Structure 1
């Protein structure tokens, strides 16, 4: 079906749905009438979602897709904010919204993955062969601090000396990890350059530290510590980078939209990835503070837990939420 025929066929329904949205938005100020307004709303909402899926599949014009996306977004706000509680909405996002968004934006996710991991692997190999080059990448004081954090004789692993409790470290890890994520996201506004810098920089930093740890023989304590939370932390950083790349690409190639509108559209899509990144980084911080630092747990056990974490992340983003959109 040509786009013109498609629009002619469904335009009356889209117009009726838009009118319903506007009425519902007015009634939202009068709580007693909300249910009356929403009667039949779900069926119209599903039909517009179906039209959006068809438009994307048939690669109709960006203008039409954006128009339908706006309708779906506004309808989603009306329907779910009124019928679903906060915990239900969080459930919908985690089970359906986030994995679908990652698959839809897979191009940016894979580019971010390459920018993060490839430089890190290259630097890892170089520092492994030339150990002294770690100081060209990481400040000597930081190298010394990291060595003390993963010393096999330490009572607790991966903790800074001035922090006394696991709860304090939980807060420290949240601030540090989410800070990196927001840097990667916001850096995209300058034509993806900031995002590229933070992804490459962090990848290089991790690669150099990994190689140095092996060179000094602390790999058992180090990998035992990072195994449990690495899947959530590294994936969270990659997702924030993908969101930033998408933001920057809207500045470089806005397509048929103005740069302002393209930036708004990319920001809306990117924020879904950012919410996902924050979700994963919170999990990583919790595991890092309350599980990874326990030195009494055998490294083999931590490796198994870490492997299970990577399997969960991979299956989550590849399988969960298929066939349903929110």
Structure 2
């Protein structure tokens, strides 16, 4: 293909890319570019790189090659800037945005504590008074498995497997934790009922299990195991419940706007909370896989570190924040 034909075939594509570059380079006008065009930018950039490669291979005029090289260079700078901004947004969200959003709904945060820990305490006391009550919460085979997992004679505490599969268990814990968090969140759309159910259910389960472990005198292995990752995992479940209740409550009491508009507004806040909850659940899975079940650590060490993590988690969430101006 001759250069003239090559230019005629791709000139409109190059011109459109140059126009898009001009808009993106002027930060104040970036909102003028439709979302589809912004999302397609990497694909358009690769097309320009391909045109440049062809022009060099076929030894077209230096003027054409220089023009395409300029477009490629400008496109590279845009892509680099966008990635830097994304990283900055992620860091800003972790450092400030997540806890700021949670503090906007602090009453709901403490309400989910009552919904979860209230039934947990009640079932803990009732199961201590009547040990057979645990079988009303869990089937006998599951109770037997639980006892085996936290038997002080077990080589690997907390799970029935060898300790050299920590990485595989890390993936399993991520899947399991995020599954619990997502169910607690997503079912809140049912006018808050689903989130309330899972908060209460998990509280009841945790209370009954804890009491049974105490009754059979396995508390030294159980509590030293759960204290490390519990601060992240249990708090993430509460935050997932918060997010779900926000969704459901927007349908119950939409205020002066339509239920659909109220749901859209609540969804933005709920999704931000879920981003933080997922982060917590991943951290919990990491600690559970690589720290909690370690037989090389003393219980005293686990209690000290675990207690410190509980303090730091709530310090992070409750330390006064300010809104970040974008």
* Greater displacement, 102-111 / 230-239: 102-111
Query: Hey, what's the Cα distance between the residues in 1 that align with 2:27 and 2:282?
Result: 38
Secondary structure at the aligned position of 1:155 is classed as coil
Query: Hey, what's the Cα distance between the residues in 1 that align with 2:160 and 2:170?
Result: 12
Q: What TM-score do the two structures reach when normalised by structure 1?
A: 0.75
Q: CA 1:32/1:217 → structure 2, altered by over 3 Å: closer, same or farther?
A: same
Alignment deviations for residues 139-175 of structure 1 (CA, whole Å, 9 cap, x no partner): 2111111111111011111124499600111111111
Which stretches in structure 2 are left out of the alignment for 5+ residues?
1-15, 32-80
Alignment deviations for residues 23-51 of structure 1 (CA, whole Å, 9 cap, x no partner): xxx99981344232339x9xxxxxxxxxx
1:37 maps onto 2:27 in alignment: yes
Which stretches in structure 1 are left out of the alignment for 5+ residues?
1-25, 42-80
Alignment deviations for residues 259-311 of structure 1 (CA, whole Å, 9 cap, x no partner): 11111111111011101100000000000000001122110100001111011
Query: Hey, what's the Cα distance between the residues in 1 that align with 2:252 and 2:160?
Result: 41
- Give 1:108 deviation, angstroms: 2.1
Query: Hey, what's the Cα distance between the residues in 2 that align with 1:204 and 1:163?
Result: 30
Which residue is equivalent to 2:74? Answer: none
Which residue is equivalent to 1:226? Answer: 226
Secondary structure at the aligned position of 1:30 is classed as helix
Which residue is equivalent to 2:151? Answer: 151
- Give 1:323 deviation, angstroms: 6.0
Query: Hey, what's the Cα distance between the residues in 1 that align with 2:243 and 2:170?
Result: 25
- Give 1:212 deviation, angstroms: 0.3
Query: Hey, what's the Cα distance between the residues in 2 that align with 1:264 and 1:189?
Result: 12
Which residue is equivalent to 1:5? Answer: none
Q: CA 1:90/1:323 → structure 2, altered by over 3 Å: closer, same or farther?
A: closer
Q: CA 1:224/1:325 → structure 2, altered by over 3 Å: closer, same or farther?
A: farther
Which residue is equivalent to 1:92? Answer: 92
Query: Hey, what's the Cα distance between the residues in 2 that align with 1:28 and 1:278?
Result: 39
Q: How do residues 270-285 of structure 1 correspond to structure 2 at under 5 angstroms? A: 270-285=270-285
C-alpha contact (below 8 Å) 1:108/1:243 kept by paired residues: no
Give RMSD over aligned pairs. Answer: 2.4
Q: How do residues 11-90 of structure 1 correspond to structure 2 at under 5 angstroms? A: 30-38=20-28, 82=82, 84-90=84-90
1:130 maps onto 2:130 in alignment: yes
Q: What TM-score do the two structures reach when normalised by structure 2?
A: 0.75
Stretches of 4+ moved more than 6 A in 1?
Answer: 26-29
C-alpha contact (below 8 Å) 2:156/2:163 kept by paired residues: no
- Give 1:86 deviation, angstroms: 2.9
Query: Hey, what's the Cα distance between the residues in 2 that align with 1:27 and 1:190?
Result: 46
